Structures are given as structure tokens and as C-alpha cells.
Amino acid sequence: MMAALGSLRTGGEPESHRKRLLRALRALGVLRTPAQELEHVEDAMLEALPPIAPRDDFRNQLRDNLALAARQRVANLAIEYPSPVRQGILLGLSAGLATAMFALLLVWRSRRSGAMH
């Protein structure tokens, strides 16, 4: 069993890894189907689903974002963006306070000017 798995440890191209894996699985008795019967399926899958790899800038940005999240978690910091409801409440209260102050100023000025006449 270890001899069959030992053949997987050597380097090489992906195609040779596949062949070594199939040989190891057959040697262990896990895979009984000859590789030739599966090659056309594998070729069709490789054509339909080519291997992909993320771009380097995506990897770098992801690494930086994950590092930032880890530092914030360690520091018990959490970034919270204000919810639209909270912003609406704050804007409403601010506008109401400004309107009330303006109304009080008008009332005070009107009584002051009325007291002078």
C-alpha cells in the first residue's frame, strides 16, 4: 500500500500525477476500471472545464483583506457601516433640532421687537 502511494510523491506534470494516481488506486484495489475507458471522459472534461487560476492582483488583494480582518479580530475591532435607518433618524433629529432652534429664535425676536413698540 505504501509503495503504491509512494509513487505519488514524485514531481512532474499534472498528466503524470493523474497516471500515478490511477496506478496507485488500481494497486490498492480501489479502482478497477482501466484508464483507457476513462480517458475520453477526462479529455472531454478538460476541454469543457479548463483549469483556472486567480490573477495575482486578486490573490494579493485577498491576502491583504484577510490579514486586515485577522488583525481587527485580534484587536477586537469591528467595522460597522451606519445603516440607512440610523442615518435617517440622525438626519431627521438634526433637521428637527435646527428647525426648533430657528423657530425659537423667531419667537424670541418677535417678542423682543414687540416689547420695544
DSSP 83: P
**pLDDT, mean over the chain:** 79
Question: Residue 14 half-sphere exposure, CB side, CA atoms within 13 Å?
Answer: 4
Summarize pLDDT for 7-63 with one digit per residue, the tens: 444 444 556 788 888 788 877 877 766 666 777 888 888 888 877 888 999 999 999
Rounded to whole angstroms, the Cα distance separating 20 from 39 reads 14
Amino acid at 75: A
* Interatomic CA distance for residues 10 and 20, integer angstroms: 9
Segment 71-94 mean pLDDT: 83
So what's the pLDDT on residue 73?
81
Distance from first CA to last CA of the chain, Å, rounded?
A: 110
Give 75 or 88, the one with higher predicted confidence: 88
**Domain locations in the chain as residue ranges:** 2-52
- Residue 87, classed as helix, strand or coil, is helix
Classify each residue of 2-11 as buried b or exposed e, where b means 16 or more C-beta atoms within 10 Å of its C-beta. eebeeeeeee
Half-sphere exposure in the Cβ direction for 68 (13 Å, CA): 8
